[in-house]
Chains A and B, each alone.
Chain A
Amino acid sequence: MLGLAIAISGAALAVILSGIGSAHGIGTAGQAAAGVISEDPEKFGKTLLLQALPGTQGIYGLLTAILVMTKVGLLGSVIMIDINVGWQIFFACTPIAFTGFFSGIFQGKVCASGCYLLAKRPDQVGKGVIYAAMVETYAVFGLLTSLLILNGINVG
């Protein structure tokens, strides 16, 4: 039972931390976006894109959690896993949890700056989006690592 609990706490950590990162990032970007809209409401579509970018981290966290759930059978018949396996799953979740947390926050800041860029030079907004994607890279790597490790763990 303890093994399962540890595995679940890993899944929860992935969702919670990356979710906080995303929420924080989307919040920051959203404030800047609203400021831009107050001047020029026609830019709504583009600001929405910029605001949505830091949202992916939360999704990656969710994705990892779901993978853990399918792994230990939480969505069907539960597999009683060993305590060691529990810890393995827990640590497999940490990469996306932490990279999601930090990259979400920082991506939000870059997206907010992207909104200011949009206000001043609307033709250059593509570059703002690319800058934001640079930050996301590390969440993508975190996700990749988590997925690969999870894939390698044998639940038995």
Chain B
Amino acid sequence: MSVAKIKKINIIAHNDSKKEILEFLFDRGFMEILPAKDASAILVRERRNDEATNTEYKLSKITYALDFLSSYHQDTRTLTEKINQEKKNIYLDEIFKLQNDFKYFEVCEKIEDCGQGFNTLKSLIIKLNEEKKKLLPWKNLPLTENDIETKNVKVVLGSIANDKYDEFCNKINKKFTKINITRVEQNDSCSFVYIIFIKEYERRFFNFLNNNSFKLIESPLGNISVRERIDEIDKEIEGVETEIGKIKSEVQEIANKHFENLQIIFDFLTWQLKQENIQENFEFTENTFSVLGWIKNTELSELKKGIQKITDFFDIIELKIKEDEPVPIIMKNSKLVTPFEFVTSIYGFPRYGEVDPTPFLAGFFIIFFGLCLTDAGYGIILTICSFIFLKFFKFTGGTKKLLQVLFFGGIVTFIAGGLTGGWFGVVLDDLPESLAWLAKPLIAIRQVDPVKDPLTILALSILLGYIHLVFGNFISLSCKIKQGEVKDGLLTSGVWIYFLLTIGFWIATIKGVLPPSVNQAALYAVISAIILVVLTQGKSKNPIMKIFGGLTQLYFGISGYVSDILSYSRLLALGLATGIIGMVVNIVGAMVYDKIPYIGWLLMVLVLIGGHLMNLVISLVGAFVHSGRLQYVEFFKTFFEGGGRIFHPFIRENKYINLIKK
């Protein structure tokens, strides 16, 4: 069994030691804490305290501060360190000390002030720039506010399209006397003009403007001339910018000094919040508290010892696990098999008490994977690439496991490719004489050529499928025997194992693998197996119905196993596909080299690299997915259901720091 044994426990202790016990559990992280369900009359759950709300408030302030400072913080880490997301190493007591000494709340408030100052100044600059934009067309206007209207004369400002300007001037001079129109600025599409006119004909004049697509512009004039105002604005903007610069350098200073400390405090507060929130699941009386949770069997004694060191007033009760309780699971596999937990996790985790399929599928998965690729060249590339990634980057969790699976897969692919003569899709027999030194040993290693002799690989695929399914039934049988359901196991998996084995035996004699003298015996064995299936597989009590049911089960069994086993023929198809696509890439490469003068060789290199890379990626996805499917659909059907829930320990989680223990 590679699912660890788990116990449900209840810790009851005195309230005085609550903090220490909580800290101890948090530090070790070996418990998953459950919400207290059956609260009896005496036990009252403590309400969510103000502390948690307070911590959340502080956290939000720090989040804002870190966000604000992040653009000022110079990350001194190297590229690989960044990719690995390396964190600052720090001891726990250093954090506690920092938390006491560092007035982080004040720093946060200061940053908030700076942020607000920034916003005010920035909006001021926007306002000034907008005013400047309005003024710019009029920068040559020699007037001020007071000149707009005198006793007899008035001025209007406006714009008119360039192509209409001349016509407009002509018209205006014809229609009105004593009028002056001056152009002060011209851009790509229109001219900005001011017109001085006499108030007498004001109404007529405005009608004229309306009818001649003249766009009136409200006067932006103030008590000083436009040019002077623009200079003034420029000066103001400059002033505001120095102000912003001052704040920036102030913020920069804070960032240099406190950024990393704030990150540490952020993690510290997250822990604190987690500790405060978890208490919602506790039950309290006046003097005691009670916690429910899951713990690994092997860690129970350590828990007891740990709490004993803190207090004498406690008790740990082991609770009985109810049948339908969703017990969390912890997978426990050897180092070699652990990467394949990734394959299992795609389907789902085993339920508690169910067998973990990971060690059983590992070998088959990797062989299937290799057969789907069957190219030694690709195998080498895959192995080297995944090795480099594993060596130089510290991936964790699923990505790391995936890379490890690919590493092993690469090795198996290399072997499978060597045995089938797949080397970057090159047809070994067609290699020129000059390369005979290379081709000869490779041909010698080659045991079978899948293109010329696909039936051998097909037979191998189907044989692997047969072994896979028989093996699955054996696992099912052994699990049932372990659980004490010997009769049930023998009557289901046992019967089918016998059935499959006799069929295998029979086919082996027909194919001449076994001597024909045992042919008769094999035939009798198969007949006995068929009779056994018919007699045992019917579920009905009525004997006639039972036999009828047995016949139906026989039909479903045979058709099911035949289709399952045939499904493994995909191994041949995918392997062939990889090889032939590689071959096509080579053919195209050679064509490019022959047909295109001068740069043919360069294009050939590009075609070869690009083509093989594409083939590798596509075949890789196919190989992984289809090897997985053979596990999930064909193999798991025989013994595995899944649907388990992974264990979530109550433990410190760090975003920015790496806690080191003494």
Q: In the complex, how many angstroms separate the beta carbon of B99 from the nearest chain A beta carbon?
A: 33
Q: Which 9 A-B pairs have CB atoms at the shortest separation, nearest pair first? A: A126-B346, A144-B573, A133-B625, A140-B570, A140-B573, A133-B629, A63-B580, A66-B584, A143-B573
Mind listing 18 A-B residue pairs with CB under 8 Å?
A: A49-B621, A52-B618, A52-B621, A59-B581, A62-B581, A62-B584, A75-B587, A126-B346, A130-B625, A132-B625, A134-B633, A137-B567, A140-B574, A141-B570, A143-B577, A147-B454, A147-B573, A151-B454
- Known contacts A59-B618, A144-B573, A147-B573, A130 near B580 by CB under 8 Å: no
Q: In the complex, how many angstroms separate the beta carbon of A103 from the nearest chain B beta carbon?
A: 13
Q: In the complex, how many angstroms separate the beta carbon of B284 from the nearest chain A beta carbon?
A: 35
Q: In the complex, how many angstroms separate the beta carbon of A77 from the nearest chain B beta carbon?
A: 15
Q: In the complex, how many angstroms separate the beta carbon of A57 from the nearest chain B beta carbon?
A: 11
- For the complex, is A20 an interface residue (Cβ under 8 Å from B)? no
Interface digits, B39-77 against A, CB 8 Å rule (1 contact, 0 not)?
000000000000000000000000000000000000000
- Given contacts A62-B581, A133-B625, A134-B633, list 8 more A-B pairs with CB under 8 A: A52-B618, A136-B626, A137-B570, A143-B577, A144-B572, A147-B454, A147-B576, A148-B455
CA A59 to CA B621, docked complex, whole Å:
14
Interface digits, B557-601 against A, CB 8 Å rule (1 contact, 0 not)?
000000000010110111011001101100100000000000000
Q: In the complex, how many angstroms separate the beta carbon of B625 from the nearest chain A beta carbon?
A: 4
Docked complex: B612-630 residues within 8 A CB-CB of A: 618, 621-622, 625-626, 628-629
- For the complex, is B640 an interface residue (Cβ under 8 Å from A)? no
Find out whether the CB atom of B346 lies under 8 angstroms from the CB atom of A127.
yes
- For the complex, is B347 an interface residue (Cβ under 8 Å from A)? yes
CA A33 to CA B459, docked complex, whole Å:
40
- Known contacts A63-B580, A144-B573, A56 near B618 by CB under 8 Å: yes
Find out whether the CB atom of B628 lies under 8 angstroms from the CB atom of A148.
no
CA A130 to CA B344, docked complex, whole Å:
12
Among A56, A133, A144, point to the contact of B569 (Cβ < 8 A): A144
CA A151 to CA B576, docked complex, whole Å:
12
Find out whether the CB atom of B584 lies under 8 angstroms from the CB atom of A130.
no
Chain A residues engaging chain B, CB cutoff 8 angstroms: 49, 52-53, 55-56, 59-60, 62-63, 66-67, 75, 126-127, 129-130, 132-134, 136-137, 140-141, 143-144, 147-148, 151
- Known contacts A59-B577, A67-B580, A147-B573, A53 near B621 by CB under 8 Å: yes
- Known contacts A63-B577, A126-B346, A127-B346, A134 near B569 by CB under 8 Å: no
Q: In the complex, how many angstroms separate the beta carbon of A130 from the nearest chain B beta carbon?
A: 6
Contacts of B587 on A, CB cut-off 8 Å?
66, 75
- For the complex, is B632 an interface residue (Cβ under 8 Å from A)? yes
Find out whether the CB atom of A56 lies under 8 angstroms from the CB atom of B622.
yes
CA A140 to CA B355, docked complex, whole Å:
32
Q: Which residue of A has the minimal Cβ distance to B591?
A: A75
Find out whether the CB atom of A129 lies under 8 angstroms from the CB atom of B625.
yes
Among B347, B454, B621, B632, point to the contact of A148 (Cβ < 8 A): B454
Q: In the complex, how many angstroms separate the beta carbon of B52 from the nearest chain A beta carbon?
A: 28
Q: Which residue of A has the minimal Cβ distance to B569?
A: A144
Contacts of A75 on B, CB cut-off 8 Å?
587
CA A126 to CA B577, docked complex, whole Å:
23
Contacts of B621 on A, CB cut-off 8 Å?
49, 52-53
CA A130 to CA B621, docked complex, whole Å:
11
CA A67 to CA B454, docked complex, whole Å:
14
Contacts of A63 on B, CB cut-off 8 Å?
577, 580-581, 584
Find out whether the CB atom of B454 lies under 8 angstroms from the CB atom of A141.
no
Contacts of A60 on B, CB cut-off 8 Å?
577
Find out whether the CB atom of A130 lies under 8 angstroms from the CB atom of B629.
yes
Contacts of A62 on B, CB cut-off 8 Å?
581, 584
Q: In the complex, how many angstroms separate the beta carbon of B465 from the nearest chain A beta carbon?
A: 14
Contacts of A147 on B, CB cut-off 8 Å?
454, 573, 576
Q: Which residue of B has the minimal Cβ distance to A134?
A: B629
CA A126 to CA B401, docked complex, whole Å:
14
Q: Which residue of A has the minimal Cβ distance to B461?
A: A144
CA A140 to CA B372, docked complex, whole Å:
12
Contacts of A130 on B, CB cut-off 8 Å?
346-347, 625, 628-629, 632
CA A11 to CA B122, docked complex, whole Å:
67
Q: In the complex, how many angstroms separate the beta carbon of A154 from the nearest chain B beta carbon?
A: 14
Q: In the complex, how many angstroms separate the beta carbon of B344 from the nearest chain A beta carbon?
A: 11
- Known contacts A49-B621, A55-B618, A140-B573, A127 near B581 by CB under 8 Å: no
Contacts of A52 on B, CB cut-off 8 Å?
618, 621
Find out whether the CB atom of A141 lies under 8 angstroms from the CB atom of B633.
no
Contacts of B346 on A, CB cut-off 8 Å?
126-127, 129-130
Q: In the complex, how many angstroms separate the beta carbon of B29 from the nearest chain A beta carbon?
A: 21
CA A37 to CA B583, docked complex, whole Å:
36
Contacts of B458 on A, CB cut-off 8 Å?
148
Q: Which residue of B has the minimal Cβ distance to A143?
A: B573
Q: Which residue of A has the minimal Cβ distance to B624?
A: A129
Q: In the complex, how many angstroms separate the beta carbon of B38 from the nearest chain A beta carbon?
A: 32
Contacts of B345 on A, CB cut-off 8 Å?
126
Contacts of B455 on A, CB cut-off 8 Å?
148
CA A52 to CA B632, docked complex, whole Å:
22
Contacts of B574 on A, CB cut-off 8 Å?
140
Q: In the complex, how many angstroms separate the beta carbon of A40 from the nearest chain B beta carbon?
A: 19
Contacts of B572 on A, CB cut-off 8 Å?
144
CA A140 to CA B345, docked complex, whole Å:
25
Chain A CB within 10 Å — which of B346, B573, B628, B633 has the most? B573
Find out whether the CB atom of A133 lies under 8 angstroms from the CB atom of B626.
yes
CA A56 to CA B633, docked complex, whole Å:
21
Contacts of B626 on A, CB cut-off 8 Å?
133, 136, 140
Contacts of A151 on B, CB cut-off 8 Å?
451, 454
Q: Which residue of A has the minimal Cβ distance to B570?
A: A140
Q: Which residue of B has the minimal Cβ distance to A142?
A: B573
Chain B CB within 10 Å — which of A55, A66, A129, A144 has the most? A144
Chain B CB within 10 Å — which of A53, A132, A143 has the most? A143
CA A66 to CA B632, docked complex, whole Å:
33
Q: Which residue of A has the minimal Cβ distance to B633?
A: A134
Q: In the complex, how many angstroms separate the beta carbon of A16 from the nearest chain B beta carbon?
A: 17
Among B580, B625, B633, point to the contact of A66 (Cβ < 8 A): B580
Contacts of A66 on B, CB cut-off 8 Å?
580, 583-584, 587
Q: In the complex, how many angstroms separate the beta carbon of A2 from the nearest chain B beta carbon?
A: 26
Q: In the complex, how many angstroms separate the beta carbon of A72 from the nearest chain B beta carbon?
A: 15
Q: Which residue of B has the minimal Cβ distance to A65?
A: B584
Q: Which residue of A has the minimal Cβ distance to B614?
A: A59
Docked complex: B307-335 residues within 8 A CB-CB of A: none
Contacts of B583 on A, CB cut-off 8 Å?
66
Contacts of B584 on A, CB cut-off 8 Å?
62-63, 66
Q: In the complex, how many angstroms separate the beta carbon of A136 from the nearest chain B beta carbon?
A: 8
CA A60 to CA B567, docked complex, whole Å:
18
CA A118 to CA B388, docked complex, whole Å:
29
Q: In the complex, how many angstroms separate the beta carbon of A29 from the nearest chain B beta carbon?
A: 14
CA A72 to CA B632, docked complex, whole Å:
41
Q: In the complex, how many angstroms separate the beta carbon of A138 from the nearest chain B beta carbon?
A: 10
CA A66 to CA B583, docked complex, whole Å:
10
CA A144 to CA B626, docked complex, whole Å:
15
Q: Which residue of B has the minimal Cβ distance to A53?
A: B621
Q: In the complex, how many angstroms separate the beta carbon of B619 from the nearest chain A beta carbon?
A: 9
Find out whether the CB atom of A141 lies under 8 angstroms from the CB atom of B569.
yes
Q: Which residue of A has the minimal Cβ distance to B574?
A: A140
